[in-house]
Amino acid sequence: MALGLYLATMAPGLTWAHDAADGGELAAAAWTLGIPHPPGHPTYVLLAHLFTRLPLGGVATRTNLFSALCAAATVALVTYVLPRSGRRWVAAVAAGLALASAPLLWSQATVTEVHTLNGLFTAVLLALSVLRAPQQSLCQAVAVGWVWGLGLGNHPTLLLCGPLVARALGRSGKRWAAGAAGLVLGLGIY
């Protein structure tokens, strides 16, 4: 449902609406595998580059589609995680609908920008934090660090997810070391 909403209202190409002033620069960087303004957003550029190869519309339309898919995946993941964290499914669906129609997310889901991918990384870290196994393996800890590192390669504001990462890693020093190794791997995107 969220994806349908975003596709129906998606900008057909470049726009400066919804604070998408970086849209042209990001679409060009994704198309050419270039480097936009600092911090460079390498994770965004590489993932959006895959969408620039789709045989439909112009490059900006394709990167707008990438934003719409990231936003819809964020909504879906949050809606999936909430009942598994002890919330009622009705509350999870209501939260998903509220998130999907939130003006800030909706506005970013229709233009070329890095923010919906940032939301998706946040949702993945939330899922890893909430759904972690009681006896989390070292591989899971590496995955948590890796996802965080890749997310930081999209936008440095993902540093604010540190508490989610700490919750996902638990109290084991070995898991923290494995998470740090994963973080270094993820930051290798730079």
What is the spatial distance between Cα 61 and Cα 10, in angstroms, rounded to a whole number?
A: 8
The whole-number pLDDT of residue 163 equals 94
The whole model's pTM is what?
0.93
CA atoms within 13 A on the CB side of 178: 17
User: Peptide bond before 39: cis, by omega within 30 degrees of 0?
Assistant: yes
Q: How far apart are CA 84 and CA 133, in angstroms?
A: 12
Residue 20: per-residue pLDDT = 75
Q: Report d(CA 66, CA 68) in Å as an integer.
A: 5
pLDDT score for 173: 92
CB neighbour burial string for 111-127, b if at least 16 within 10 angstroms, e if fewer:
bbbbbbbbbbbbbbbbb
Structure tokens at 151: 């997310």
d(CA 18, CA 148): 27
Q: Residue 186 and residue 62: Cα distance in Å, rounded?
A: 25
pLDDT averages per 10-residue partition of the chain, 190 residues: 96 84 94 95 98 96 98 98 87 95 97 98 94 77 96 97 93 94 97
CA distances (Å), origin 173, targets 49, 73, 161, 169: 37, 32, 19, 9
pLDDT in the model for residue 133: 65
